[in-house]
Every structure is written in structure tokens, then in C-alpha cells.
Amino acid sequence: MSDSFSARLEAAVSAIPARYPGAGGAVAVVKDGEVLIRHTWGYANAERRLPFTPSTLFRMCSITKQFTCGVLLDLFQDPTELDGDVDDRLPQLDEPAPGALHLAHNQSGLRDYWAVAMLHGAPIEGEFGDREARRVIDGTRTLQFQPGTSYSYVNQNFRLLSDILEDRTGRSFAELLQTSVFNPAGMERAILAAETRAMPDGTVGYEGTVESGFRPAINNVLWTGDAGLGASLDDMIAWERFIDATRDDPDGLYNRLTAPVSFLDGTPAPYGFGLQRTSMFGRDVTMHGGALRGWRSHRLHVASERLSVVVMFNHMSPAQVAAAQILAAALGVPYEPDRTTQQPLELYGTYLEQETGLSARIEPAPGGAQLRYLMVPEMLEGVSPSRAETPNVRVVRQGDEVRMERPGENRVGILTACDETPGEDIEALEGIYRCEELDEAEVTVELTNGVVYGGFSGILGNGRMEPLQRLAKDVWVLPCPRALDHTAPGDWTLAFERDAMGVNAVRVGCWLARDLVYRRA
């Protein structure tokens, strides 16, 4: 390792605690199978003054998904053997069920159960365990799209896989992880930490800011194959070294996990076996993040460079950004993209996507535009007055039509401009609407002295009432302060529909759970 390389990397890592302040954290960099950085700081538990060390157990959250798929591939050479098991676990589905590989590649077409739980009135900090998960999943009647044709991030895909693996083997998922992955990789402390209330060694996740102060985050979710991994920095280093040690074995576990994946039409897919496949700084990268209220983590691997980066925060700073900054330093390339040019655009406005019923807001931003459609805003660079894009999304105006192309999801959405004239009869929105798809779950819309509020109710209780924000005539958003995992699934779009008698229905959805029609009761 050259002096310049070492100095560059050390500087990048040393800047992380100040750049992303919080209770504590950990960073590792592995190159050519050797550990270059093994660094921790701060406290795993600030109240008990427990330091964050390389052996501290950390909640890895969705990074679990690749390990679930590792068990799947270790036990079943052909995962399609489990397709019938998937069908059995969706008893009310009235169309062909996805297969096991659709689950592993996030191509199932299922709606995400953490998001749907909010539509069923799940309390924001309420308990959500096996019973609640089964009630939500069992109620599935329709899919968002035909399995294999598109991509949508869905957590219960991996919960279903871990449940099926348990049933097929007669062994606990914790034991399966140990024998299929942890032991071969030398992950000595790693465990299935399904209960999110606390970690066995007392590590705590924190939420808040430097200005507001940090406080222990409250979580009451039971996780399995979707997000239940508990691991230390040393465990994750062992995983990265195992990847490097088996790099030349075509049957090696990570090589099988990163094998090319495609959609039904043959288009290459950017996600498979619990791993995102992307390009960063001109290199192919496999990676995944993890997040829960109070926790953020990210790991990435650049096979061509034999280079891995792991970042773990027990607070809610963007670990994926920190990992990218460290990777840039390791590669000796600039991190920040050039956004100095400002291209005037003709795309600004509020739209409804025809296929999903979701709102899309395009607003001015440095270098182009901000698209509010997913869980977090996407920054688009203006290419021409009628085109703005990132590597993941392109918004293009062609005549009177605006197209939103999302190659990673293998789909194109048509955006219809909304009538932004304020409606005068907001009283017509008031009422109770019921969704047949969700066992008659309800959305209640009420006016209190001219202010519109809405709330969801269903088999999990009565959600709290939230003020609605008007986007356009008959198009509103209901804020979701958080779902059952790390952040809200994005604002819920409420697109009200009318007939000759007035408002008769509302189409409800977010990116994780789309196109649900509620009829006026």
C-alpha cells in the first residue's frame, strides 16, 4: 500500500465521525483479502457508557437478505423446488403466485407488508411479530405486477423464504444461518437477532440530531430472513475476507449470489439474491444497505479491485453515502458529481402515474430537478429542456406525453399532469372509504374547521389521523411519519375519483404498496 493511498484512505475514514455525528460507529476496508481499516469510535450504549468496539454486535437490518439467499443456495441447488411452498403461503391470492427466485430477486409483484401494515392501522410504535406478519401476508389477493416482469423492493419476500426454509428443514433459521453461512465464513459472533427491542450485548440504536440531542430509538418488530442479522464489525470483515478467499471458485457462495439475473423478457436485472448490482466510479459493484429506526449500515464489494467497504452507524446518518466516500478515496477518484450547470426544464409540475396511481412531483433543484416519487427525493440532472435523468431514472417529455423510465424496475410510467386548480368542494372528500383487497380496511377523511385529515384502520388497529396536503385538484398526500422499519414508505397518494353523484372512491398507494382502490362506504 503506497503512502499516498494510505494517507488518502486514513483521511477519509478519520473524517466520518465529524461528518456524520452520532453515538458511535465502525468502518472497515478490506483489500486483496487484507484488512486495511478496522476502526470504531463512540459508544454502543451511551447511557451505560459501553464503547463501540470491533466485537460489538450491530443490527445489520436488510443486509440480512443476502445471507438468507446464501442459506437458500447452500441448501437447494435449484430454488424452484420451493415454488409450491410459496404458493401455499399465499392462500387468498387469486392469480399465479411468484416463485422462490422471484422472491430472492425482488420480482415477486407482492406489496410490501411493512407498508401494508400501516394501511391496516398498525400503531407507529406498536408490536409487529409473527402473528401480525402472517395476518397481513395471508390477506394478499392481488399482485402489483406479473412476477418476473418488474422490480419492487419487498421485505416479506425474504421473510417468506426464511419461513419456508425452516419448514422444509425442520430447523430454526438461526441454526440454518449458522451452519450455511456463519461457520464457513468465520463469523464467530453473528446471530439471528430477530427481536428489535434490544441487542444481547446492550448495543442501542439512537435517533435525533446534534441540535435536538440523541435518544434511544423505539422498535417493536420481529424480523427473520428479511432483516434479522446481528453481527459485529469483525464478523463483517470475516464475510468480506471469505468473499475474497473464494473469488476463483465458480461454485463459491458469493459467486453464486452475484451470478447474473434477468427479468422475464431477458433484460438484465440490477438486483438479485439479496444484492444490488450497480456501477460506481466506473466499476461494477455489489452492495446492500440496512436501516431501522436508530441504525444505518452499508457494505459494498468491488470484485475487479478485490476491495470491500463496510460502514455501521448506531444512529441514522446515511451510511451508504459514507461508504461511497470511502470507496472514492480508496480508488483515488473524486466523490462529488459535477452539478455546476443549470439546464432550464419544461418538466416542473405535479403528475399522476397512470399505472400505479402514485403522485410524482418535479420541482426545481440545483443542476436540474428534484423528483418526489419514491421514499426519498431523487435528484435529476437536466439534459435538455424536455429531459432530466440520473442513472436510475429518466423523465422525458415527448409532445404532450411525459414518460418516467425506470430501467432498474424494467418499466416505463406515463405521467399525467394534474389540474392544480384548487377544488372548492373539499367537504365532498369527507367520509369513510373501504378497500376490498385489504379485508375491508378503511381510510377515514375528516374536516376540522376547513383542515382535511386522514387515517387508516384495519385488522391491526386504528392509525392516527394526519393532516393531508393538497397537491392538485382531488390529489392529496397523507404523510406517513414512519413505517415498521427505518423510514416511512413515502407519502401515501390519495387520488379521489368522482362520478355524477360526487366523490365515490379514492385510489391509495405509495412506492412499496401501489394501486389500492377504496370505495366510499
Each residue's pLDDT expressed in tens, for the chain with a length of 521 residues:
677 788 899 999 999 999 999 999 999 999 999 999 999 999 999 999 999 999 999 999 999 999 999 999 999 999 999 999 999 999 999 999 999 999 999 999 999 998 999 999 998 788 899 999 999 999 999 999 999 999 999 999 999 999 999 999 999 999 999 999 999 999 999 999 999 888 999 999 999 999 999 999 989 989 899 999 999 999 999 999 999 999 999 999 999 999 999 999 999 999 999 999 999 999 999 999 999 989 999 999 999 999 999 999 999 999 999 999 999 999 999 987 555 455 678 899 999 998 999 999 999 887 678 999 987 888 888 888 899 898 889 999 988 899 999 999 999 999 999 987 766 688 999 999 999 999 999 999 999 998 999 999 999 999 999 999 999 989 999 987 666 655 655 689 999 999 988 999 999 998 889 999 999 99
Between CA 42 and CA 317 the distance in angstroms is: 14
185 contact partners, CB below 8 Å, separation of at least 6: 238, 239, 242
- Cα(245)–Cα(241) distance, rounded to whole angstroms? 6
Classified as helix, coil or strand, 451 is strand
Answer yes or no: 473 catalytic. Answer: no
pLDDT at 342: 58
Contacts of 477 (CB under 8 A, 6+ apart): 359, 468, 469, 471, 491, 492, 493, 494
Paired strand residues for 128: 221
Judged by DSSP in three states, 469 sits in strand
Binding-site residues for substrate: 485
Find the catalytic residue in 2, 14, 62, 317.
Answer: 62
- The pLDDT, as a whole number, for residue 423 is 63
Provide the pLDDT for residue 34. Answer: 97
Q: Where are the alpha helices (DSSP H) in 170-262?
A: 173-177, 183-185, 233-245, 253-257
CA distance to 25, 189, 315, 449, 474, per residue, from 44 (Å): 8, 16, 10, 47, 48
In this predicted structure, what is the pLDDT of residue 178? 98
Distances (CA, A) of 116 to 22, 30, 102, 367, 371: 31, 39, 20, 36, 24
The residue behind cell 419456508 is 164
pLDDT for the residue 491: 81
29/327 Cα distance (integer angstroms): 9
- Measured between alpha carbons, how far is 359 from 400 in angstroms, rounded to an integer? 18
- Residue 198's pLDDT is 85
Catalytic entry in 31, 65, 232, 359: 65
DSSP state string for 326-378: HHHHHHT---S---------S--EEEEETTT--EEEEEEETTEEEEE-SSS-E
Radius of gyration of the chain (CA): 23
Please write down the long-range contacts of 241-249, taking CB distance under 8 Å and 24 or more positions apart. Answer: 241/30, 241/33, 241/35, 241/186, 242/184, 242/185, 242/186, 243/301, 243/308, 244/30, 244/32, 244/33, 244/306, 244/308, 245/33, 247/303, 247/306
- The number of angstroms, rounded, from the C-alpha of 495 to the middle of its chain's C-alpha atoms is 24
Q: List the beta bridge partners of residue 382.
A: 388
Q: Which domains does the chain have, with CATH numbers?
A: 3-78+172-331 (3.40.710.10), 349-417 (2.40.128.50), 426-520 (2.40.128.50)
Given this model, what pLDDT does residue 324 score? 96
65 catalytically annotated: yes
Measured CA to CA, the distance from residue 396 to residue 378 in angstroms comes to 15
